[in-house]
Structure 1
Amino acid sequence: MVGLKLFRTDASQCGVSEVMPRLAEVEADVQGLVEAHMETLLGVRFLASEYGTGPVHKGRIDSLGLDENGSPVIVEYKRGVDAGVINQGLFYLAWLLDHRAEFEHLVRDRLGMRAASQVLWSSPRLICIAGDFTRYDVHAVHEHRRSIDLVRYRFFGSDLLGLETVASGSGGVQGARRVRRQAVARATAGVQDASMVELASAVDEALLGLGDGVNRVDRKTYRAYQRLRNFACLCPPQRSKLLVYLKANPKDVDLVPGFTRDVSGLGHHGTGDLEVQLRTPRDVERAQDLFLASYAAA
């Protein structure tokens, strides 16, 4: 985003004028805006602001949330560049993992009993939002075993906010790549048709291969593929097909009966309004552009 140039067009004068990027006056300006629209901006349900970690740790977590897969999320903000933002966030993440009951109580108070019972402690997340990051920050994200997203922000004019994912990584994802076949086999347990197991493996490889920083989160009823937000959810194989739900807008897709379906407002596992039905390796190839469009929008 540092190299992005934004221009306002003036149709009446047939001209353009550049909208200059700027940082926030104070860190709280970024925090307040993100917290007010956290689900839209990050795919995270807001839980608490400036959450105290008690007399021992003596800290305050900028924002606490719960993502669409039920993973706990800590969001830390910096107005500009701060070399300590990742370490600070990881310090709070360690505290959170030691205070699970307290976090679940907060979820129960804010979102209800069902959400609290489905908190996914296997993949807690840290999102750092700052004016910029160093190359050492980016390297640390790819080396660390935790799920960490670095997000650069800029304000444009008086009413535009830009967010750019600079780096996204999880040691768990790298491990998932190494044991992909075993993981897919577990996800397809009970499926007798070997072709469905192979098809699930092909989908898994296609989604993980869309770009850097794809995180895979396993839930009981679906597997989510995530950048900053989910972009695809793969359900366990049925007898003769796989169902993948994408964040692509069904209104922007030429729907094909038996292949793609608008499931807006219909109940289903995972997230996304576009259902893709896969029966053969050829279907996976046909769906590649849809996968990429959903990935790009996440």
Structure 2
Amino acid sequence: MSGLKLFNTKNGMTEVMPRLAGIEADVQSLIEAHMETMLGVRFLASEYVIGCVDGGRIDSLGIDENGAPVIVEYKRGTDAGVINQGLYYLSWLTRHRSAFDGLVRDRLGVTAASQILWSAPRLICVAGDFTRYDAHAVHEHRRSIDLVRYRYFGSDHISLETIVSVTGRSNAVNRRTRRHAQPGAPRALHEHKGAMTELAVAVDETLRGLGDGITRVQRKQYAAYQRLRNFACVIPPQQTKLLVYLKADPKSVDLVPGFTRDVTGLGHHGTGDLEVQLRTERDLERAQDLFRISYAAA
């Protein structure tokens, strides 16, 4: 049972009691209709029939903000089989990539299909609750799995709570790297590169330290830090600065020229409408409140 409590403060203080869906399909249809808002996943197909001897239907298929294939499985209450069922479908999907490639091409176009991130397919299990054995089991698999608990509150609210989030492969930068200057390279240029590399490591450590269940997904153009959804995207260091894009609302931030910028509607790699420009460790300290706001929004 969820430990989340919700209270209505109108005319006193009244607890709004949580409840489960009447049927599993209620949760599925609601999330499929708003999948990008709720999970950060673009919806592709519902009840997708897989072509194998044992057969089966994938509840929902989608693709996340970083181009990773996503399977979403739903259960009304607690069901010990939801993880194994999802893993079965995920295994089928990774062996039949052409079917998913074709689905993305038909729904989203050739460009999206060419950018699918097959190194990081995901399984999201949405259920009324999970047992401690479920939470332990996901750590035993070499897959990216999110266990998400839902609850309805009254007639107008639904909560999604990430219970466990694991990544199937580590893309973390766990050690400091040194870039050696090429013979004849200007000393100042080498020092700039070294400083930006050190700053990038510090940014990685800071973003990962914001909470549990943070996954780092490496793409060619950026590194995404996500819970269920991306909350930060870091562009590879430039000569004198590091760019980070956040999900924080630019309209709620006092923008500072040379430090923060509203990039709503402007093309850039990664996701997020608030650009943060980092040049020094002091800039990183100034940005930490913005990092936390974006993390909370994800």
Give the structure-1-normalised TM-score: 0.92
Report what 2:182 is aligned to: none
1:268-289 deviation line (CA, Å, top 9, x unaligned):
1100011000001111111111
2:138 and 2:51 map into 1 onto residues whose CA distance is: 27
Following the alignment from structure 1 to structure 2, what is the Cα–Cα distance between the partners of residues 110 and 57? 27
Question: Percent same amino acid at aligned positions?
Answer: 74
Distance apart, 1:294 and its partner CA? 0.9
Unpaired segments ≥5 residues, structure 1: none
CA contact (8 A) 2:120 2:168 kept: no
Question: Are the aligned partners of 2:145 and 2:167 in contact in 1 as well (CA < 8 Å)?
Answer: yes
Residue 144 of structure 1 contacts residue 170 of structure 1 at CA under 8 Å; is this kept in 2?
no
2:31 aligned with 1:26, yes or no?
A: no
The one-letter code matched in structure 1 to 2:226 is Q
Q: Deviations over 1:39-83 (max 9, x none)?
A: 010010000001111241311100000001000000000000011
* Residue from 63, 70, 93 that aligns with 1:96: 93
- Letter of the structure 1 residue corresponding to residue 148 of structure 2: V
- What does residue 255 of structure 2 align with? 255
Match of 2:42 among 30, 33, 45: 45
Provide the rounded CA distance (Å) in 2 between the counterparts of 1:261 and 1:57.
Answer: 53
Partner of 1:231: 231
TM-score normalised to structure 2 length: 0.92
Q: Find the partner of 2:114 among 117, 120, 131.
A: 117
- Asked if residue 72 in structure 1 is aligned to residue 69 in structure 2, the reply is yes
Counterpart residue type for residue 106 of structure 1: L
Deviations 1:233-291 (A, max 9, x none): 00011110000000011112111111111111111110001100000111111111111
Show CA shifts across 1:95-144 (max 9, x none). 00000001000001111111111000000000000000011111222343
One-letter identity of the residue aligned with 2:127 = A
**Unmatched 5+ residue regions in structure 2?**
180-184
Alpha-carbon distance between aligned partners in 1 of 2:100 and 2:219, rounded to the nearest angstrom: 20
Q: What letter corresponds to residue 123 of structure 2 in structure 1?
A: L
Contact 1:141 1:170 in 2 (8 A): no
Alignment match, 2:172: 176
What is the alpha-carbon distance in structure 1 between the residues aligned to residue 54 and residue 116 of structure 2?
A: 23
Cα separation, partners in 2 of 1:27 and 1:180, compared to 1, 3 Å: farther
Q: What letter corresponds to residue 18 of structure 2 in structure 1?
A: P
For structure 1, which segment, 142-151 or 128-137, has the greater mean C-alpha deviation from structure 2 after superposition? 142-151
Equivalence for 2:131: 134
Distance across 1 between alignment mates of 2:96 and 2:3: 41
Equivalent pair of 1:264/1:273 in contact (CA under 8 Å) = yes
| Pairing 1:6–2:19 present | no
Mapped partners of 2:158, 2:100: distance in 1 = 30
CA distance in structure 1 between the partners assigned to 2:269 and 2:54 by the alignment: 39
Deviation of the 1:180 alpha carbon: 4.4
